Amino acid sequence: MKGKIPAATRNALREAFYDLLDDMQFEQIRVKDLCQRAGISRVTFYNWYEDKYDLLDDILSQMKQRAEKDFQHYQKTNNPENDPLQAYDNFIDTIFDLQEQEVRFLSHAREEQDPWLSYCYYMFVYNGLKKFMDNYTWALNPRYTTEQTASFLCSGLWGFFGSCRRMHLSEAKIRRQTKELLETILKSDAFRNTRS
């Protein structure tokens, strides 16, 4: 993104992007279609974005900002002592909140529906988890590198969410079970380096 885009233009492009995703995969979307749907000129689009990938980066960046704000709120409210296990709980709550806030985006970011968009969202979550782990995991004395652990947790949680949803479990139950599973993993010798 090239600067501070006016909110109305940003929102119009975001909504146009979601509307087009209702009809096609991300790779099929053209800037011309985005502009037409948003009611803006291509000149206006290119004043703010390099291409549609830049628009997607902006959408993910907005999600990241909201998630970071929500996580800090959870930390301030639920974890004034900065306990790393509670921080993981707060991270899970943040992910679930983001999924509730971004239903329209996430309805398209499923691997079977749009593999590229699914990959972009997965990498968004993975990078957020990796950054989070750099700040909070050291106190748990992990056995494996941040990259290894983030990959394992992100892929495992991804699969766990999907299987719970296919079982038609409530969001509250999925959230609770996710936290229980993650806490079990984080407290186990499989995760922690118990060697002196």
Whether 160 is covered by a domain: the verdict is: yes
Q: What pTM was estimated for this model as a whole? A: 0.87
**Alpha helix (H) residue ranges in the chain:** 7-21, 31-38, 42-48, 52-78, 84-101, 103-106, 115-136, 146-166, 171-187
* Overall domain count for the chain: 2
Flag whether 196 is in a domain.
no
In a domain, 195, yes or no: no
Same domain for 100 and 119? yes
User: Is 162 within a domain?
Assistant: yes
| Strand-pair partners of 142 | 192
126 and 172 fall within a common domain? yes
> Of 30, 48, 66, which residue constitutes the final position of a domain?
48
Whether 55 and 105 have beta carbons less than 8 Å apart is answered as no
Per-position pLDDT tens, the chain of length 196: 667 889 999 999 999 999 999 999 999 999 999 999 999 999 999 999 999 999 999 999 999 999 999 999 999 999 999 999 999 999 999 999 998 899 999 889 988 889 999 999 989 988 988 888 888 877 788 888 888 888 888 888 888 888 998 899 998 999 999 999 999 988 888 888 876 5
Q: Do 82 and 138 form a contact (C-beta atoms < 8 A)?
A: no
Whether 174 and 126 share a structural domain: yes
Residue 178 phi, psi (nearest 5): -60, -45
Residue 11: what residue type?
A: N
Range of the domain at 28: 7-48
